[in-house]
A = this chain, B = another copy of it.
Amino acid sequence: MTSQLQPEQLVAPYRPSRFMASLSAMSEPIPLDLAHLRKSCAHCSLQQLCLPAGIDAEELARLDQIVKLRRPTQRNERLFRISDPLVSLYIARDGAFKTVSISEEGEEQIVGFHLPGELIGLDALGHGVHRCEAIALTTASVCEVPLVQLTAVAAQLPRLQQQLLRVIGQGMGRDQDHLNILVKRQANERIALFLHGLGERYQLIGQSGLQFKLPMSREDIANYLGLALETVSRGFTRLQEDGVISVHGRLIEISDPGQLNRLAHVREAAPLPLRGSAG
């Protein structure tokens, strides 16, 4: 439908030459029986967060048929590049991804981080062409859902269509949250909000929301938050000095969730077990 655009690589001044070698080594299709067995959405731990949420067994089977499980991706591998035509949506299963847009001057801007269960690829809905790159932050695995088939099935399954819109809407909601982080908030607030939000998302996928390992570098965080990486580093240090969190490299432990929430200006109905939060 869309006229074929040349996926010319708008290569940014990004120089992971050492990784390129390892990436180019893996392009051969491998028939993985194991992967096929595990592919079913019915057995996926993310079922309740992912597209399948809210649809019944029969519908699930229909969806299963079009979901491909891609082989695990290496760190820094890309699901798609800028100006690639929109073919599939992806859903992270393991690991984490970032989506990055690149400005005319070649500067990267991280648009979002994607934890398991979160949809990737919506950026191309508008024009049928990706405006972002999706890059694996860790070794990861994803489900691939060809869009044509997805919309076709969705047209026949109202609940799936509804769910699709819902997942899209949630993605937009996250974008809006991102926006609210960036506007009119100072560095420390942004960092607190970031950690808070990340903790919430980890909790949603069944991991600890109080103790987790950041899949992204300080530089990525800084980019995402619109700060200098030094400011992020200082922010972490400050939060640690104040006893709010405990930092060991990328390991984060939230020692005082209540205080973190307060710093983030988040008020909520205490979804986390808040133990004796001082003052």
For residues 119 through 170 of chain A, which have their beta carbon under 8 Å from a beta carbon of chain B?
A: 122-128, 131, 151-152, 154-156, 158, 161-162, 165-166, 168-170
A183–B101 alpha-carbon span in the complex (Å): 12
Q: Within 8 Å CB of A101, what residues of B? A: 176, 180
Query: Which listed residue (B107, B169, B182, B265) contacts A124, Cβ 8 A?
Result: B169
Task: List A162-192 residues whose CB lies under 8 Å from chain B.
Answer: 162, 165-166, 168-173, 175-176, 178-180, 182-184
A108 closest partner in B (C-beta): B184
* CB-nearest residue of chain B to A110: B183
Closest chain-B Cβ to A107's Cβ sits at a distance in Å of: 7
Q: Mark A94-126, 1 if CB is under 8 A from B, else 0.
A: 000000010111010101000000000011111
Complex Cα spacing A175 to B172, Å: 8
A 187-243 contacts with B by CB, 8 A: 223, 226
A13 CB to nearest chain B CB (Å): 5
Instruction: List the B side residues contacting A44 at CB < 8 Å.
Output: none
Cα distance, A179 to B170, chains bound together (Å): 17
Bound complex: CA A179 to CA B123 (Å): 13
In the assembled complex, which residues on chain B have CB atoms less than 8 Å from the CB atom of A178? 179
A35 is an interface residue with CB less than 8 A from chain B: no
A2 interface residue per 8 A CB criterion: yes
Q: How far is the CB of A207 from chain B (nearest CB, A)?
A: 22
Interface residues of A (CB under 8 A from B): 1-5, 8-10, 12-14, 82-83, 101, 103-105, 107, 109, 111, 122-128, 131, 151-152, 154-156, 158, 161-162, 165-166, 168-173, 175-176, 178-180, 182-184, 223, 226, 265-267
